[in-house]
Amino acid sequence: MAREDITQRSVGALTNIEHWLAEPGRRYAVVAASVLAVFAIHAAASEPTYAWLAAVPVVIAGLAGGHREGLAVGAVAGAGHLAIDLVQGPGGQVIIIGALIRLAILADLGLLGAVLARVESQRDDARVRSATEDPVTGLLNVRAFYDGLRELQVHGKTFSVVLANVAGVRSLNETYGHKIGTEAIRALGHALRVSVKSGDLVGRLGSDEFALALVGADADGALAAAERLAEQLRLEELFLPDGSRLEVHAYFGIATYPGSADSEEELLKAADGAVSDARRQGLDTAVVASTE
């Protein structure tokens, strides 16, 4: 078995133990009992080597309890084994130096456990983000947005969807390159993010297509939100390669639930039709889908 595989499996096993010991009371009992058991083995055998068995509960304390707990347990374990050595041995300089080194290493192992836990937590966060976030804007991706709409429907929420299309992205890409087009997309994403309240959904559905789900908002509330978005877009500071300011505009289509449609697919289809009507009326226009 490759060394990397062994390392990954070891970290995985420790992480599983960390999850099981996440409850403080359970963790304190297990770690304390383990350290005391190692003390007993060390004292009974009169063999300092057994002190290294304390490395396991020390690392677990760091994994499950964080750097402070790992450092504290490591220090207690190291100090306890030092005391046993002094009682059983002649207390010579060599024994004391070795015991102090062991104390420092055990404390460092507690910190190592905390670092491993943080790395694993960051990996978990990264996996969640990659599954739910749009990589360009950091908003919900299309799958996560649809899942959010279904969740709102399951809980009987009323809401309005505001579908927003950035105007002229293809022209920007062709004239100035994809970097400028991407900046325009990010500008709308930022405008959406700062315009929503807690509980609302905001996602990127396609290249230049974004969507808001405004919980509890009717058509009038959604129209007001679209107006605020258009105003926020005008405040975005974007510049073309020649130094001139780039104005970002969008078209907005609105659909309400219940009212415009009975499913998330039909709802977004109705909002998309309203976006087409908005394009015919002009930049930064918002149109509400017909409920007929």
- Tens-place pLDDT, residues 161-193: 999 888 877 787 777 777 887 887 787 788 878
Give the integer Cα–Cα distance in Å for 262 and 223: 21
Q: What is the mean predicted confidence (pLDDT) over 110-116?
A: 75
For residue 251, the number of C-alpha atoms closer than 13 Å in the C-beta half-sphere is 21
Ordered DSSP codes for 118-138: HHHHHHHHHHHHHHHB-TTT-
Contacts of 176 (CB under 8 A, 6+ apart): 240, 241
Q: Is the pLDDT of residue 258 over 80?
A: yes
Give the integer Cα–Cα distance in Å for 70 and 60: 8
What pLDDT score does 5 carry?
63
Q: What is the mean predicted confidence (pLDDT) over 12-19?
A: 64
Contacts of 146 (CB under 8 A, 6+ apart): 264
Give the integer Cα–Cα distance in Å for 266 and 264: 6
For residue 224, the number of C-alpha atoms closer than 13 Å in the C-beta half-sphere is 7
Compute the mean pLDDT over every residue in the chain, rounded to the nearest whole number: 80
Work out the percent of the chain whose per-residue pLDDT is above 90: 10
Give the integer Cα–Cα distance in Å for 286 and 251: 6
The two structure tokens encoding residue 41: 């083995």
The two structure tokens encoding residue 191: 């405008």
CB count within 10 Å of CB 246 equals 17
* Between residues 270 and 110, the one the model is more confident about: 270
Q: Is the pLDDT of residue 92 over 60?
A: no
| Tens digit of each residue's pLDDT (9 = 90 or more) over 215-239 | 999 999 999 989 988 888 888 777 7
Q: Is the pTM of this model over 0.75?
A: no
Residue type, 27: R
Q: What is the mean predicted confidence (pLDDT) over 42-63?
A: 81
Distances (CA, A) of 196 to 25, 53, 58, 176: 40, 53, 45, 31
What pLDDT score does 101 carry?
76
What pLDDT score does 165 carry?
86
Q: What is the mean predicted confidence (pLDDT) over 66-93?
A: 77
Which of 195, 174, 198 is CA-nearest to residue 184? 174
